[in-house]
Amino acid sequence: MVKGLSLNDGEKVLIKMTVHIFGGIRDMNLEQVFECGQCFRWNKMEDGRYLGAAGEHVCIASLDETESILRLEVSGGDRDFWYNYFDLGTDYSAIKAGLIAGDPKMLEACEAGYGIRILRQDYFETLISFIISQNNNIPRIKKCIEALAERYGESEHMGMKSFPRPEVLAATTSEELGELKLGYRSEYIVRAAQRYLEVGYPEDPETVVDYHGVGPKVANCIKLFGLRCFDAFPIDTWMKKIMSEMYGFKESDVKGMQNFAEEHFGEYGGIAQQYLFHYFRNVR
DNA sequence: ACCCAGGATCTAC
DNA sequence: GTAGATCATGGG
């Protein structure tokens, strides 16, 4: 499909727009997927569709009322890319069943969190995004990331810039990034981009905590969302309260919580965390 | 003015 | 190894 868009100078330019249709979609709700805190570049449009960016690709996503057909209007990326990005090959019903079998307390949280999926996001984008997330709130995290993309992203589709390449961010300075109101995270971002160019994609997920500005919580988010370690169990201020209330931990006993998650939830601890996080923030 | 936001670092004990 | 202060920024 080809659409004509008019630009500021009045010229008509043909923009290549592809539509991917995926049927038989289960365990998916776009609001849950995009607003559970795993990604920051998707926003609901007035008509209910979601406009967002994944790396250099931009997409308008919608799920029909029976929630069985996913429609993606994309600027690029082949069918496999988007199938992979939305994690359509993973059976979340089976994962939920396993979590509930191991802990009946998870039943309500899993039901309330119907439709959550862990997107397969780009590692570098996840790294930078969650460095920005520290001691920050979601609306401002999104503003910071859009400012980064607006300034350093090199391509643009449907009004959204691509996420900056590591080479570009590595070539900036913390003073320059300071103009984007990133606060003390500016230095972390430059150093992270430079380090990424040195070490590349981590063979060992445990090494992400070696980034300056990446502590245990952010590292677990990067592992879960950017490296697909489903056992990574991020513990933030909310999870401390939740683990305290549900399982009786002292809120200071983060180490105890991590060990418990490892033994109790096992390989899908990160998924359990997502359901719990969502449940306590949005339902209770 | 104070507190919080999907915290991390640095310092001191 | 662990408690406390400090770190930008914006919103309530």
- Nearest nucleotide by C1' position to the A234 CA atom: B6
> What's the CA–C1' distance between A66 and B7, in Å?
40
Classify residue A4 by its DSSP letter.
E
- Chain B positions under 7 Å from a protein CB? 4-10
- Other C-beta atoms closer than 10 Å to the C-beta of A13 total 10
Asked whether A47 and A79 are in contact (CB, 8 A), the reply is no
pLDDT at residue A65, as a whole number: 76
**A121 Cβ within 7 A of any nucleic strand B atom:** no
- What the block records as the tokens of A167 is 């080479």
Query: Is any atom of nucleic acid chain B found less than 7 Å from the CB of residue A217?
Result: yes
Nearest nucleic acid nucleotide to A233, CA to C1' distance: B6
Give chain A's mean pLDDT: 93
In angstroms, rounded to a whole number, what is the distance separating the alpha carbons of residues A59 and A42?
9
Read off the pLDDT of residues A109-126 as tens digits, 9 standing for 90 and up.
999 999 999 999 999 999
CB A213 under 7 Å to nucleic chain C = no
Task: Establish whether the CB of A212 is closer than 7 Å to any nucleic acid atom in strand B.
Answer: yes
> For the segment A70-96, what is each residue's pLDDT rounded down to a tens digit?
999 999 999 999 999 999 999 999 999
Q: Write the DSSP assignment of A7-60 as a string of letters.
A: -TTS-EEEEE-EEEEE-S--S--HHHHHHSSS-SSEEE-TTS-EEEEETTEEEE
pLDDT beyond 80 at A25: yes
The reported pLDDT for the residue numbered A16 is 74
The model carries a pTM of 0.94
